[in-house]
Amino acid sequence: AQSVTQLGSHVSVSEGALVLLRCNYSSSVPPYLFWYVQYPNQGLQLLLKYTSAATLVKGINGFEAEFKKSETSFHLTKPSAHMSDAAEYFCAVPNSGYSTLTFGKGTMLLVSP
Amino acid sequence: EAGVTQFPSHSVIEKGQTVTLRCDPISGHDNLYWYRRVMGKEIKFLLHFVKESKQDESGMPNNRFLAERTGGTYSTLKVQPAELEDSGVYFCASSHLGTRENIQYFGAGTRLSVL
């Protein structure tokens, strides 16, 4: 079964600094990968998705992620953090039937002024 | 267009009591999912409805959990009797049927505390 691993339960950056949130998938290449974000008191919102059409995927709010097969990774980046980016971020992969999602444990992004 | 709505947002009950969570999916979404996040753990799948039918309930922890989706619209998840380990955040998600990507849209969740 597919799985994803997120390294780091908490990541702290200063406003304006680079954001890097890590996600590694299990050995078989998934057809899709997702990053979701949960802002305080809100539901999970889709940030971006990988669909094998392109390895560099751009999402909302200036985030992007690059699919690297050689590293089994799909790390999320943003060149310059903003205070409003403070949230919890989840990497997810669908099961073989493309129905249910398997999530990583989540990474809380803390942004300091 | 309204998103996925869940009610209540918080519920605090005592061990042994019954609680019913409700989820209203996005209109027109035939897929409806329940997930749960226990504190400190990852979000885990519980159950998948296609319209009113249970497509996959392999994630349901035990028979104290009962999910329904009468009429294929909103869904309820009942926990009876609740145990301490049932505490967590229960998320509902919905999606269109038949799309390969199956983008799921999530509600804000119900935070359940069993004391």
Residue A107's pLDDT is what? 97
Please give the structure tokens belonging to residue A11.
């990541």
State the average pLDDT over residues B16-37: 96
Burial environment of residue B52 by CB neighbours within 10 A (0 to 12, 13 to 18, 19 or more)? middle
Picking from B42, B91, B94, B101 by the largest number of A CB atoms within 10 A of its own CB, the best residue to mutate is B42
Residue B90's pLDDT is what? 97
* A43 SS3 class: coil
* A62 SS3 class: helix
**pLDDT over threshold 90, residue B92:** yes
Q: Is the Cβ pair A46, B48 closer than 8 Å?
A: no
**Dist CA B115 CA B108 (whole Å):** 22
Contact A35, A91 (CB under 8 A): yes
Residue B1's pLDDT is what? 65
Q: Is the Cβ pair A99, B48 closer than 8 Å?
A: yes
Residue A27's pLDDT is what? 65
Chain B residues whose CB is inside 8 A of the A53 CB are none
Chain B nearest C-alpha distance from A64 (Å): 18
- Per-residue pLDDT tens over the stretch A25-60: 986 778 889 999 999 888 899 999 998 778 899 999
Q: Is the Cβ pair A94, B102 closer than 8 Å?
A: yes
- Per-residue pLDDT tens over the stretch B39-75: 888 999 999 999 999 999 999 999 999 999 988 899 9
Chain A residues whose CB is inside 8 A of the B103 CB are 34, 46, 49
Q: Tell which B residues from 61 to 100 touch A, by Cβ distance under 8 Å.
A: 91, 93, 100
